Structure 1
Amino acid sequence: MIWLLFIAATVCTLLNYNTSHKQRLAANTLFRQQWEHQQRNPHDAAHFGTYLFKPVNILNVFDTGINDYTGNTYRIEAHIQHEISNSEAENNDTAMRFGNLTFALILQLLIPLFLLFNTSTSITSEKESGTLKMLLAQGLSSLKIIWAKVWANYLVIVVIIFPLFLLMTIAVLCSEDSALLLTRLLWIFITFLLYYLLIALAGTIISAISNHSGKALLAALCFWIFMSIIFPKVITGMADRSYPLMSRAVFSDLVEQGYRKGLNGKNPYNVRGERYINALLKKYQVDSVSALPFNIEGLTLQFNEDYRTMAFNHYFREVEHTFNQQQRFLSLWGIFDPFLSTKRLSMALAGSDYHHHESFFKQAQVYRNNLIRQLNMQLAMHGKNVKGEYTVGPKYFSQLKDFKYRVLPLNQVLQLRKIALLSLTGWILTLVLLLQFIASRALAFNYASV
């Protein structure tokens, strides 16, 4: 059944990856062609703008993380700082409610449930069938029996998931970013190996302290529901209530008012412009803007653009700070929930978590600001003493560089998710000690005679 789910997830993953990859390539080619074949004023070209698309790789599709909900398109336009938009879930009610069938969904939710069901009855079934007495009579220690149950069930899961990671490795090696993604895939594999060992230990402990398989199954199911569904929902809601975000309308209004009236409320738009022009006249020792050695329109456009960007960044830092507080809150509470730690670590390694989304936005914003500046400065430096409107053509636009997204380095990702790694390790050590204690006191066999 698990392999059938993997096959279904493989089909969905490959289809989603091929579709997304082809759409991005086609869109990038289309907008690049439109951009290069322009014949217009540089600032008009800045208004015409273009689009940047968040690149997709095979690991993003392995674990889609928040990508389906945060958008994948960044609009470049003069005078306006856009946010990332066009999420997959906007017009997909099924994806919004249940998410897509991915490898990560199976590995994070379904396999742990299967493993818990196996391990939670591993010892109780021996008690109920009477074979536990026979094993003890043959000289086997309680410690050996318990650890045999742990490793037997754990190795079954490893054998089941190994073909999946083997196929993923082949897919990564065939991709364009194999050198970058292969190490990340290895860390994902290590993460799930640790997670399943933790689940095997927890399930065996439940079985060891239970006197009936039905009770053990019920306890295991309650543990899975609380760990995988209830606790993450509660903690996410707590993070949102503890660190509430300002609304998009409030943010946009603050940016506009900051630009119009100044960040301190005492530096209005027209006063700033006059002061800037007077400073230029004084610097070049001329009496009128017509005597300046450049097109004043291009410089004033860029001056206003810089101030609007400063206003956007000023208020966005508050939003970013709130997001970071929420992320720290979730990381700390993830210590108490191995599922939450595993999920966040998997998203980070796949490049589909909040920090990768934030990195794409910042890189896209830097590219956008540099592009607008380049166009405005082209107007300023070359638009002087031109009869009619100054325009540039395909030769100039084709020289402008494409956007290149740089994925966060792996060491930075691991540093950001070190709490999750420590959480998984701490849970495993705690459960190992607890299992050793149960075995040493023979608590698992109190009901051997029942």
Structure 2
Amino acid sequence: MKMEGFAAWQMLIKKELLLSYRNKTILISAVIIWLLFIVATVCTFLNYNTSHKQRLAANALFRQQWEHQQRNPHDAAHFGTYLFKPLNLLNVFDTGINDYTGNTYRIEAHIQHEISNNEAENNDTAMRFGNLSFALILQLLVPLFLLFITSTSITSEKENGTLKMLLAQGLNNRKIIWAKVWANYLLIVLIILPVFTTMVTAVLYSGDMALLLTKLLWLLITYLLYYLLIALLGVIISAASNYSGKALLSALCFWIFMSIIFPKIITGMANRSYPLMSRAAFSDLVEQGYRKGLNGKDPYAARGERYINSLLKKYHVDSVEALHFNIDGLTLQFNEDYRTKAFNHYFKEVENSFDQQQLFLSLSGVFDPFLSTKRLSMALAGSDFYHHEQFFKQAQAYRNQLIKKLNMQLAVHGKYFKGDYIVGPKYFGQLKDFKYHLPPLERVLQLEKIAIFSLTGWILILILLLQFIASRSLALNHTYV
């Protein structure tokens, strides 16, 4: 008897898939989604190839300029160079905040730059709507399509009078409801499967396979969980509604609130609750902290004089001329270190505001699974704020180390050199390039544990709610006209 019930349940799922295949509206919608995926694929890989080549060319150009210069080491520090945020295939799968946070870091002596040159700055369309990407389609359009077909899955049976026929064949409410869930869920899986197959193939043939493949599999798991959640929500709406029109309207309202209204409200609340210091105010604080000291009572001149006196005392000499190294190199590095100290001191306040905003958004995802999915997707793709922050910190550390190395070169070798101390390509060529290291997957998942718990928690709650609805015959009652 159990086998017969399971076989009947399987047949019901097959019937649902066959009906979906024959439904022109569903078929046309699926074709539109596939066409959008094709356009997104073309745009994604064209953008990736273009951006990747541009960054490689820019890196090669600045490296060539750096290696072939002949300058005083400190003058070379003023000349500086540029670092570019690396790009990988997952970044273009979900561009996240990358289009708005910039991709270029300027290295220059005495100045701590921020990351600049965001791609959306001069792109009004990107600023308003974002670029067409896999993530945009998977996060917004596919859930809307899934809600559209699931929210009418039971009401259509009620309106067509086929519900009583199914019940008469020995199927109970629970089997019918779960058949609707799994049939529509499998349909969506079949629709999105080519997308992830394409991405897996691209990653396998890329040079970053070891770093990206596991993250891509986690991305697939994330979206599969999200679509299961949406399928459950849509069937619940359908089971609780008497008419398809009402169910569709309810599903559309859920989608608009969950995907558009609530995220916008939460983002505004995060900005108002934890406002960021303006760039002008921050730069002024850093400059004042450097000129007057972090306590306001340690001016630049007195600080430098005290440092020179400490060096004279340390090496037991009476004048800077008696020192066995170039005092200019050390004082330049001393001032550089203090400026970096001032920058980091005031940047902690900015960083704290960013962290509070991110925590606020993470906690808000508990009330909106779309937010949790979006945050988890960006994190796994490496296009969230955490990865942006990691690039900045690694770039800043490289910059500080490079400036220090140049100043110490002047200090150690510039003492007894006649005229201006000049170094050439042999020295500059041996300086190492910047290497950005992606955070490990374990760290990313640890930071987004709230999003993971939110998605799984929502799924469990909806399963329990669906089971409760299925246990009550009133959920399937309908007055046939």
TM-score norm. by structure 1 comes to 0.99
The answer for the alignment partner of 2:250 in structure 1 is 219
Q: For 1:42-95, what per-residue CA distance to the aligned partner results, in whole angstroms no more than 9, with x for missing partners?
A: 000000000000000000000000000000000000000000000001111110
Cα RMSD for the two superposed structures = 0.6
The answer to whether the 8 Å contact 2:154/2:238 transfers is yes
Matches within 5 A, 1:70-219: 70-219=101-250
Partner deviation per Cα, 1:371-417 (whole Å, 9 max, x = no partner): 00000000000001111100000000000000000001000000000
**AA aligned opposite 1:231:** F
**How do 1:34-433 and structure 2 match up within 5 A?**
34-433=65-464
User: Cα distance, 1:185 vs. partner?
Assistant: 0.1
8 Å CA contact 2:66, 2:428 repeated in 1:
yes
Structure 1: 4+ residue segments shifted above 6 A: none
Opposite residue 348 of structure 2, the aligned amino acid is: R
Q: Which amino acid aligns with 2:124?
A: D
Q: String of CA shifts for 1:174-193, please: whole Å, max 9, x gaps.
A: 11110110000000000000
Listed one character per residue, the Cα deviations across residues 147-202 of structure 1 (whole Å, up to 9, x for unaligned) are 00000000000011111101100000111110110000000000000000000000
Q: In structure 2, how many angstroms separate the alpha carbons of the residues matched to 1:392 and 1:246?
A: 41
| Alpha-carbon distance, 1:211 to partner | 0.5
In 2, Cα distance between the equivalents of 1:430 and 1:191?
Answer: 17
Matched-pair contact (CA < 8 Å) for 2:159–2:480? no
Shift in Å at residue 444 of structure 1? 2.3
Normalising by structure 2, we get a TM-score of 0.93
Q: CA deviation at 1:449?
A: 4.3
Q: Of residues 24, 38, 42 in structure 2, which corresponds to 1:11?
A: 42
8 Å CA contact 1:132–1:448 kept in 2: the answer is: no
In structure 2, C-alpha distance between the alignment counterparts of 1:309 and 1:355, rounded to whole Å = 22
AA matched with 2:335: N
Residue of structure 1 equivalent to 2:62 = 31
Kept after mapping to 2: 8 A contact 1:133/1:448: no
Q: Contact 1:39–1:392 (CA<8 Å) still a contact in 2?
A: yes
Distance 1:448 1:200, change over 3 A: farther
State how far apart, in whole Å, the 2-side matches of 1:406 and 1:398 are: 22
CA offsets, 1:399-439, max 9 Å, x none?
Answer: 00000000010000000000000000000000000000000
More displaced 10-residue stretch of structure 1: 438-447 or 328-337: 438-447
Aligned equivalent of 1:440: 471
Q: Quote the Cα distance in structure 2 between the aligned partners of 1:443 and 1:274.
A: 86
8 Å contact kept, 1:59–1:351: yes
- Deviation sequence 1:229-265 (CA, Å, 0-9, x none): 0000000000000001111110000000000000000
User: Residue type matched to 1:321 in 2?
Assistant: N
In 2, Cα distance between the equivalents of 1:135 and 1:334? 39
In the aligned structure 2, how far is the partner of 1:2 from the partner of 1:102?
12
- In structure 2, what residue type is equivalent to 1:209? A
Matched, 1:2 2:33: yes
Q: Secondary structure at the match of 1:335?
A: coil
In the alignment, the residues of structure 2 paired with residue 240 and residue 64 of structure 1 have an alpha-carbon distance, to the nearest angstrom, of 21
Equivalent-residue separation in structure 1 for 2:58 and 2:260 (angstroms): 37
Question: Does the 8 Å CA contact 1:208/1:444 hold for their aligned counterparts?
Answer: yes
Q: What letter is aligned with 2:147?
A: L
Contact 2:151 2:237 in 1 (8 A): yes
Contact 1:13 1:102 in 2 (8 A): yes
Q: Secondary structure at the match of 2:82?
A: strand
- Tell me, in whole angstroms, the C-alpha distance in 2 between the residues paired with 1:217 and 1:2: 19
The 2-side partners of 1:92 and 1:442 are apart by: 55
Secondary structure at 1:198's aligned position in 2?
Answer: helix
- Find the aligned partners of 1:361 and 1:259 in 2 and give their Cα distance: 21
CA distance in 1, matches of 2:474, 2:451: 31
Preserved CA contact (<8 Å) 2:115 2:392 = yes
Letter in 1 for 2:395: A
Residue pair 1:209, 1:443 contacting (<8 A) in 2 also: no
Residues 60 and 352 in structure 1, CA contact (< 8 A), matched pair in contact too: yes
Count of aligned pairs: 450
Contact 1:331 / 1:420 at 8 angstroms: preserved in 2? yes
Q: Secondary structure at the match of 1:420?
A: helix
Displacement of 1:308 in angstroms is: 0.1
Paired residue type of 1:309: T
Letter in 2 for 1:330: L
Q: Determine helix, strand or coil for the equivalent of 1:297.
A: helix
